[in-house]
Chain A
Amino acid sequence: MPPSGLDVLFQGTNFLRLLGGLWVAARIALISMALSVLLGVPVGVLMTSRNRVIKAVTRVYLEFVRIMPQLVLLFVFYFYVTMILRVNLSGETSAIIIFTVWGTAELADLVRGAITSIPAHQYETGYALGLTPLQVQMHIVLPQSIRRLIPAAVNLVTRMIKTTSLVVLIGVVEVLKVAQQIIDFNRFTYPTASIWVYAVVFALYFITCYPISLLAKGLEKKWALSSQPSH
């Protein structure tokens, strides 16, 4: 029987190395996403401000981060920004910072969209009950907005996990690069290894992203039931 590409996965510590790479990718994406949520919600509230300066600054920030490819941001930040600032940051720390900058912008825009989708009568009812503007935001607008942005935010997490494949350019080796490295190392002895290794990488991405989707679905359902008893 000719050597199957599947054998490659069980040579040495190859499979553990793949899992290690997955952990690197997941760690970067999850830490960045957690920070993005912490920063993105207040920034998103700021984005709904009527103040022109605040509007302009947040707008430029969002557009800048959206227009610049993440690859360019990672490259410029890791190599040149750290050099100019004379700080020594590891590739992984740099990646978390850039992913947070990106995630905050995207999430803030989602928060902005969710807040503006709350109908005016919700605010008016709140004020009529004697709540302050802050109380209206905290107790009426944000809880409803956050529920509305769950699906898009989860989409952002999974996009982030997949975008981690770019960090190899700044010397951080994650799951996809480990896979390509294993394929290359065995390209003469196991020419068909690529299909198997990529299949495993597909499975690994799936088992990472799918639970996140399930969790989001669960949250949506739970909050939808508990918060709208009157309908």
Chain B
Amino acid sequence: MSKHTTTVTVGGTASKNARKLTVASNRQSFFKRMMSQKMLIAMSLPFVLWLIIFRYIPVVGWLMAFQDYKPQNGFFGNEWVGLKHFRDLFNEPTFFRALENTIGMGVLGLVFTTLAAITFALLLNEMRFLKFKKLTQTISYLPHFVSWVIVANIVTTMLSIEGPINGLLTSIGILDDPINFMAKPGMFWGIVTSAEVWKSTGWNAIIYFAAMAGIDPQLYEAAKVDGASRLRQMWHITLPSIRSVIIVLLILSIGNLINIGFEKQMLLGNNIVMDKAIVIDLYALNYGIGMFRYSFGTAIGIFKSVVSVILILIANGFAKKIGEGRVF
């Protein structure tokens, strides 16, 4: 019994010592490697500091949402108020209008930009004249590269009272008198969505177009032998082949439904259509910075992040259910 115990102890000590040794030599080699990689450390350290300052400290700033933050008190000298700002938020009618507009324009934008990009990629993929095909694709990227300021400028010019759209509609008799599109609240969502489709279709189509290039040509050959028309080939071969790309991109964008930003609404909106143009980020900007309600504005940001995470989880679960695998 005692002999047995001894053996075990001895064995135990030996293996412990051995482990200690490897840990020591690992630590030494880690230290040695670290010393030999001084240059690599110097090349990454400034950027790690940058990431901490510019990307992590703002996240710590979330604590402000639970305080009554006043700049003169510094970061630590503020009164903790719990969920007060969130309660205030849910008691604001403007907030719900902003939420409605955000989701409304987010969904419209997602549906129509996706449909437009897929349609454009499908049809471009069928084009026969290679030179014209390349040229069309190059031209289709252009709006992606110009800023929203320029797009807003283009939209207001095109839709102005003496602009081309009014000119076209009155000359073919759809309108009797030119109308001021930008001053019609009911048209605002439509205008923003059209502008988005105009700006992003060519660019968004790149990824679908690339996916179509990877389809096995034998599939089309086989379909042709079976007498399938080109429309049927598009429907039964091309579309199903890019199905998983479509689903992955949709899931990624569903998480961003609430992160539609404020640029388009801020640039295209005006006081007349503000009820339809105010979105969450614009609301946070007006209240949080414009009215110095920093804690309130931060609470809006947190609300957005939470909704965004919930949306991603829902979309992810949905994707799993229909058997496309999860994105994360």
Judge: A and B partners, yes or no. Answer: no
